[in-house]
Amino acid sequence: MTAGRAEPMPARKPGADVVRWDAPLQFLKGVGPQGALALGKLNLRTVGDLLRHYPRRWEDRSNFQRVADVQNGEFVSLCGIVIAVSTAYPKPRMALTKVLVDDDGAALTLTWFNQPYLEKTFLALKAARRPIVVYGQARRSGWSLEIQNPEWEEIGEDDATFSTNRIVPIYPATEGVRQTRLRKLVDAALQACLDEIEETLPPDVLLRHRLVGAQNALRQIHFPDSLPELDAARRRLIFEEFFTLQTLLALRRRASSHDARGLSFTVSPERLRDDLKQIVPFALTRAQQRAIDEIGADLSSGRAMNRLLQGDVGSGKTMVALAAMLMAVENGYQAAIMAPTEILAQQHAIVFRRLLEPLGLSVELATGSRGAKDKAGVRERLAGGQSHVAVGTHALIQEGVEFAKLGLVIIDEQHRFGVLQRQALAKKGQRPHILVMTATPIPRTLTLTLYGDLDVSVLDELPPGRKPIATHWKTQDKRSQVYAGAQRFLSEGRQVYVVCPLIEESEKLQAKSATQLSEHIANEVFPQYRVGLLHGQMKPDEKDAVMARFNAHDLDILVSTTVIEVGIDVPNASVIIIEDADRFGLAQLHQLRGRVGRGQHASFCVLMAEPKTEDGRARMAVMTETGDGFKIAEEDLRLRGPGEFYGTKQSGLPEMTIADILRDMDVLLETRETAFALVEADPKLARAENQPLRRSLERSKLGFELITVS
Ligand code: ADP
Ligand code: MG
């Protein structure tokens, strides 16, 4: 049985109900309250959600193959009649159901494991002599052909056009909603509201980029008439997703820079250089100097700075922050820097005090854990303008913290904060300049999408003398060897971090396991060395004390949870042993590893891991192969997918459902140019041809109004 080219999708059947795009799914024909509940599990609530539930892939089932022609290993669509059904129990708890299907005299076997209930279904089909269609990977041995766990369905009168005899959509499915059902529902949704769908891309964008129209694309993405038409539909929808994103970014950027007049600082590069020379004990790298120049240009431009400083762990972002602060302070303004952890804030306070106090500048530390009296003092000095620089955690954005004249806001380890927190700190001043810093090397590709509204400076150079961190992946049986290696470094006067296994269930458990590990190390492994312990359940002043002792080399070994993950800087520490390393994500491992290799000493990172998953092994392999944060970030993006990447959810940007930032990079660049040009030409989206786009952005609830009004 072979079939010709698929029929084009019929236009709406006469008399079909019209349902609006935003109507709840239960009003769609064939869904009902029960069905709506099941679809809700796929996060599908409205008819539009269902239509935007794009297929995960497609299968060209427009031609059935013949059993006789099938090659071993090939994915095939076949059609035939059930002629025998049996279930055997080769082992206890194992059911093996076999169904023999006849295709014009040649036979193939379908096999299912542990689904004995299928026997009844197939016996009924055998009795009815109705053809079924199967799809799957064929295994041929000699004359026999087998497909294990095939996708299959019977050919009914109705659904034939959705699941066979055409290019078939395969949806991301869930329990309780079968592919065949989804296909029918999507068809019903198309019937019901395709005509209502508005073209959001402006006509000349469609024309110039050779894109198919919205309705056509939506129909073809679900039920393609041919592969070229499917391609055209995908391209259009990918373009649309990126274009929407880039338009939002272009508007945001306009709102934050062009419209926004900012404080204009007077910057004297010579004076700054002299100051820095006086207080910084080393020469800046060229990359640091370049970033400082770029910041200086922003600060004196008259427009509010909105800059992202991106640099791998250890590239020296703190000194760039210091230079920016000096520029603000010299202009009579205050500067604030916010860090994600108390330990990091504390460390920054120590560094900035050491460097700035000799210049007669005063630095405040604001963290949640400080006593009420301390806090009151800090607040008073910041509000009164006696203090020049504030270092702190989230405590900085609390109510009651006020600044006399806040001119510069710096967010360290920006990926740990959301857009709202960034804005909350900025609100403490009158449109202060903003610098966000991240050690998480966002792949260049993602920078464009997530931070497309910021200017970017990159520290692409490490301070001189750094040696690559030798990274080894070891299993439990090599533990004594690992300790022997650490011993060598300890005897040479270096310090060692031991990072405890990640326990996500509870901080308490995590603290307990850290305590046990540190006792074991102190008593049994390295009794001759001084061992400290650091975890999230300790009181802040205990943490500070331990960190200070490790810093001062009063401790040789620091057993710690991930509280040391970001920012911690102890150059004499040159070995880090990460326990159960496969429980950590790539970005986190790279950050942890960045705690060593910060000085002149040769450094080691040991990943103790026996990964149980393919993914875990892949992460260990990536870590041992490269030290390049950007490469690691791209791998991370590949392994985890962009949705999960660095809190995209917090970024207040639309989700990508069909576009893939890595795969579709060329389209992303294309849309970026187009969208930025469009916003440049029509900043308020006021022109007639941009009205549908404007409406769709308004509907998207992504703060579009805020942008255009401000
Ligand atoms: P990160 O970019 O990870 O925040 P840091 O600012 O903590 O990096 O710097 C890492 C280490 O490198 C610190 O010990 C810092 O003093 C040192 N450092 C920074 N810049 C230079 C430089 N130009 N030359 C030598 N050492 C530097
Ligand atoms: Mg840092």
pLDDT in tens, 390-423: 999 989 988 788 999 999 999 998 777 766 777 7
Q: Give the list of residues 6+ apart from residue 605 with CB closer than 8 angstroms, or none.
A: 469, 470, 471, 472, 575, 576, 578, 592, 593, 596, 623
Ligand 2 center from residue 496 Cα (angstroms):
20
Q: Which of 53-67, 285-299, 600-614 is predicted with the least confidence, judged by mean pLDDT?
A: 53-67
Does the beta carbon of 463 sit less than 6 angstroms from any atom of ligand 1? yes
pLDDT 10s digits, 532-559: 999 988 888 888 889 889 999 999 999 9
| Residue to mutate (ligand 1; options 313, 343, 598; most atoms within 8 A of CB) | 598
Does the beta carbon of 315 sit less than 6 angstroms from any atom of ligand 1? yes
Which residue matches tokens 């913290």? 401
Q: H/E element holding 325?
A: helix 317-330
Which ligand is the nearest neighbour of the Cα of 319? 1
Among protein residues, the one whose CA lies closest to atom 19 of ligand 1: 316
Of residues 278 and 256, the one with the higher pLDDT is: 278
Could you tell me the sign of the dihedral formed by the alpha carbons of 238, 641, 662, 75, in that order? Answer: negative
pLDDT above 90: residue 82? yes
> Quick one: which atom of ligand 1 is closest to the CA of 320?
6
pLDDT 10s digits, 673-690: 999 999 999 988 999 999
What's the mean pLDDT in 106-112?
A: 91
Distances (CA, A) of 348 to 73, 365, 687: 59, 9, 49
Rounded Cα distance between 262 and 618, Å, is: 47
Among protein residues, the one whose CA lies closest to atom 9 of ligand 1: 316
Q: Are 632 and 602 in contact (CB under 8 A)?
A: no
Inter-residue long-range contacts of 81-84, CB under 8 Å, 24+ positions, other chains counted: 81/129, 81/130, 81/131, 81/132, 82/122, 82/125, 82/126, 82/132, 83/107, 83/126, 84/126
What's the mean pLDDT in 640-661?
A: 62
Which ligand is the nearest neighbour of the Cα of 345? 2
Ligand 1 center from residue 288 Cα (angstroms):
10
The model's confidence at residue 442, banded by pLDDT at 50, 70 and 90, is low
pLDDT above 50: residue 710? no
Among protein residues, the one whose CA lies closest to atom 4 of ligand 1: 317
What's the mean pLDDT in 506-520?
A: 89
Confidence (pLDDT) at 441? 63
The model's confidence at residue 176, banded by pLDDT at 50, 70 and 90, is confident
Of residues 327 and 129, the one with the higher pLDDT is: 327
| Chain mean position to CA 216 | 31
Q: What percent of the chain has pLDDT over 90?
A: 43
Ligand 2 center from residue 446 Cα (angstroms):
21
Does the beta carbon of 518 sit less than 6 angstroms from any atom of ligand 1? no
Does the beta carbon of 598 sit less than 6 angstroms from any atom of ligand 1? yes
What's the mean pLDDT in 573-596?
A: 92
pLDDT above 80: residue 644? no
Q: Give the list of residues 6+ apart from residue 289 with CB closer than 8 angstroms, or none.
A: none
Confidence (pLDDT) at 128? 87
Q: Give the list of residues 6+ apart from residue 369 with CB closer than 8 angstroms, or none.
A: 342, 539, 540, 541
Does the beta carbon of 597 sit less than 6 angstroms from any atom of ligand 1? no
Does the beta carbon of 429 sit less than 6 angstroms from any atom of ligand 1? no
Does the beta carbon of 277 sit less than 6 angstroms from any atom of ligand 1? no
pLDDT above 80: residue 354? yes
pLDDT above 80: residue 295? yes
Which alpha helices (H) appear in 557-690, and where do they start and end?
586-593, 614-625, 629-640, 665-681
Q: What angle do CA 450, 662, 182 make, to 5 degrees?
A: 95
Which residue matches tokens 């610098």? 435
Rounded Cα distance between 23 and 131, Å, is: 37
Confidence (pLDDT) at 445? 62
**Which residue from 486, 572, 478 is spatially nearest to 526, judged by alpha carbons?**
486
Does the beta carbon of 414 sit less than 6 angstroms from any atom of ligand 1? no
Instruction: Give the largest CA-CA distance in the chain.
Output: 95
Rounded Cα distance between 655 and 667, Å, is: 16
Ligand 2 center from residue 613 Cα (angstroms):
32
Confidence (pLDDT) at 647? 46
Of residues 117 and 361, the one with the higher pLDDT is: 361
Does the beta carbon of 569 sit less than 6 angstroms from any atom of ligand 1? yes
Q: What angle do CA 274, 277, 278 make, to 5 degrees?
A: 90
Q: Which of 25-29, 46-50, 600-604, 621-625 is predicted with the least confidence, judged by mean pLDDT?
A: 25-29
Q: Which of 153-157, 218-222, 352-356 is predicted with the least confidence, judged by mean pLDDT?
A: 153-157
